[in-house]
Amino acid sequence: MTFARFTRPGLHRLAATLLAGGATLLPAVAPAQEDETTLTAVMHSGLRVLDPIITTAHITRNHGYMVYDVLTAMDENFAPQPQMADWEVSDDGLTYTFTLRDGLTFHDGAPVTGADVIASLNRWGARDSGGQFIFDVTESLEAPDDGSVVWTLSEPFPPLLEVISKQSAVPPFIMPARVAETSPDETITEYVGSGPFVFNESEYEPGVSVTYEKFDDYIPREEEPSWMAGGKVVNVDRVVWTSMPDNLTAMNALAAGEIDYIEQIQIDLMPILESAPGVVVEMRDPLGYVTIGRPNFLHPPFDDKLVRQAALAALGQEQMLATMQGDPEYYNVCGSIFGCATPLADETGAEIVTGGPDPERSKALLEEAGYDGTPIVLMAPTDVVSLVNQPVVAAQALREGGFEVDMQSMDWQSVVQRRAQQAPVGEGGWNMFFTNWMVPEISDPLINVMVNGRGDDGWFGWPTDPEIEEMRAAFVAAGSPEEQKEIAVRIQEHVMDNVNYIMMGEYLIPQARRETVQNMIQSPVPVFWNLTKEAE
């Protein structure tokens, strides 16, 4: 992909200076054996949380796909495909029988059994938005033998396969039963999966470096890879994720051949790589991302709907997206909570945020709510290319709308850990944060965790919203796509009124790699199987 329209003489002079110098600050990683092939990647964030069920953080999800496998997986046509298991569904739609494929082995040498699957699904179902709905109608989940699982429902749940095959938010990764029996409210402490890579715990430096080694006993499926489905063939011996919070440093390291891949490239710095030989800049995912703001419903002031509506009025998509991306070719003003290019797209009620900001309306709503001027704590990550601008823009807009704002800077992994805390603000809690989702992660009411209204069992922010739960249940029971669309529009209207979250628009972000790295799967989730690395 060519980005010539971004060419600027000043940036090219800067590029020449940087590339000529060749000096980078690389975190230390353990040396590989001379005959090993190691791929070194700079991901969007350092990895600190290792439990892919306890959080929706993308870096932890990416880690999950390295170490664990899933029963079924979504292909590039949004169709569920067998992965660890094939399945049969009874004529009445109440019984799903999963048969594990031969040769499934955990990294410690133990075979994968039905008991492991059941424990893993139970833990996942307690945390995941769609999984909670499935378990609401689960009559039994049993393993008649080591090689099969029978899932019996009390009433049909037509999208069951789509929910357990989803590639993101919280995929149902399969773990050994002894690990999966950990409470869904506690973090696992053992990291044994059956996926294509083994997590090297001895070389793990939280937030700095993480090493994965090829699992020699992994048996890939025979099908061609397609998104998260198909054969996961590993062609490198080791993958090392090394942290470089400064995007310019990472670009310099890529141009010098010191690293092989960067997950996210800052748009206004792309010309630096245009003149770098041996580097490819491209879009990994044409569907892109959405960026959103999430208020905390548990504590003042966002426990008051009027205050949430004031925040919605104060913020405007165009200003935020333009600051994030610069070039309008890489963003889209979009008020649909399910994404503007999805089957459930609808922008009803979104005019306030797509046409905003409206600071006077925000001030009027705050006055009506009796807002006392207590500062809201806005968490602001400093080390993720696609998240550094939102809090800065939002803080200024909220202040212009009458809010007092305490913007607290921290790295993204600190945000990930702190947003899980329900404590009041004075005891280390928070009022608002911004994050990003891939469009497939928010495309329907079962996958989109921000429309979960189950209070403490929901996603960070924890709204208790019986009305939206009734609509989500109606969506599951809907008899046609047309009926589902009608319900989705009602959910859209409700979210815009209740401000379950603030939709701030869609954007694209490129990745970069050395030309020596070939055959990367063009999936929304970055994966490291199938690719090859040639010698420089």
DSSP 393-430: HHHHHHHHTT--EEEEEE-HHHHHHHTT--S-GGGT--
Do 368 and 294 form a contact (C-beta atoms < 8 A)? no
Report the candidate in 458, 461, 436, 438 with the shortest Cα–Cα distance to residue 449.
458
Query: What is the predicted pLDDT for the residue at 392?
Result: 96
Report the candidate in 308, 354, 326, 369 with the shortest Cα–Cα distance to residue 495.
308
What total number of domains does the chain contain? 3
- pLDDT over threshold 70, residue 341: yes
In a domain, 269, yes or no: yes
User: Which segments of 259-337 are extended strands (E)?
Assistant: 261-262, 279-282, 289-295, 331-332
405, 471: one domain: yes
* Amino acid of residue 69: D
The two three-digit tokens of residue 410, written as one number? 């921290």
Query: What is the predicted pLDDT for the residue at 360?
Result: 97
38, 67: one domain: no
145, 133: one domain: yes
In a domain, 51, yes or no: no
In a domain, 53, yes or no: no
- Residue-level length of the chain: 536
Average pLDDT on 330-337 reads 94
* CATH classification at residue 105: 3.90.76.10
Average pLDDT on 384-397 reads 92
406, 499: one domain: yes
As to burial, measured by CB atoms within 10 angstroms (0-12 exposed, 13-18 middle, 19+ buried), residue 501 is buried
* CATH classification at residue 424: 3.10.105.10
Query: Which residue, of 189, 207, 237, is where some domain finishes?
Result: 189
DSSP per residue, 471-531: HHHHHHH-SSHHHHHHHHHHHHHHHHHHTSSEEEEEE---EEEETTEE-----SS---SS-
- Backbone dihedral angles phi then psi of residue 206, each to the nearest 5 degrees: -50, 125
252, 273: one domain: yes
- pLDDT over threshold 80, residue 536: no
93, 159: one domain: yes
Which residue is associated with the tokens 């044994």?
Answer: 192
Number of other residues whose CB lies within 10 A of the CB of residue 332: 18
Most confident of 22-26, 32-36, 288-292: 288-292
Query: Which residue, of 173, 189, 205, is where some domain finishes?
Result: 189
The three-point CA angle 77-79-81 to 5° equals: 120
Buried b (16+ CB within 10 A) or exposed e, 481-497: eeebeebbbbbbbbbbe
Query: Which residue, of 189, 211, 240, is where some domain finishes?
Result: 189
In a domain, 199, yes or no: no
305, 399: one domain: yes
297, 264: one domain: no
Dist CA 55 CA 107 (whole Å): 23
User: Which segments of 49-167 are extended strands (E)?
Assistant: 72-74, 80-82, 85-89, 95-100, 138-145, 148-153
- pLDDT over threshold 60, residue 16: no
Dist CA 22 CA 11 (whole Å): 16
List, for residues 408-446, the tens digit of each pLDDT value: 999 988 998 999 999 999 999 999 999 999 898 898 898
Dist CA 510 CA 327 (whole Å): 13
- pLDDT over threshold 50, residue 343: yes
* CATH classification at residue 519: 3.40.190.10
In a domain, 213, yes or no: no
- Domain encompassing residue 263: 4-44+219-285+510-533
351, 481: one domain: yes
277, 317: one domain: no
* This prediction's pTM: 0.82
In a domain, 264, yes or no: yes
The two three-digit tokens of residue 140, written as one number? 């039994």
In a domain, 398, yes or no: yes
In a domain, 102, yes or no: yes
Number of other residues whose CB lies within 10 A of the CB of residue 468: 21
Average pLDDT on 272-280 reads 87
Dist CA 437 CA 288 (whole Å): 9
List, for residues 463-485, the tens digit of each pLDDT value: 999 999 999 999 988 888 999 99
Dist CA 19 CA 251 (whole Å): 9
363, 477: one domain: yes
Buried b (16+ CB within 10 A) or exposed e, 112-123: bbbbbbbbbbbb
Which residue is associated with the tokens 């590639």?
Answer: 167
Q: If you average pLDDT over every residue of the chain, what do you get?
A: 89
Number of other residues whose CB lies within 10 A of the CB of residue 5: 9
pLDDT band at 34; cut points 50, 70, 90: low
493, 523: one domain: no
Do 308 and 486 form a contact (C-beta atoms < 8 A)? no
Do 125 and 131 form a contact (C-beta atoms < 8 A)? yes
Strand partners, 524: none
Residue 482's contacts (CB-CB under 8 Å, 6 or more residues apart) are: none
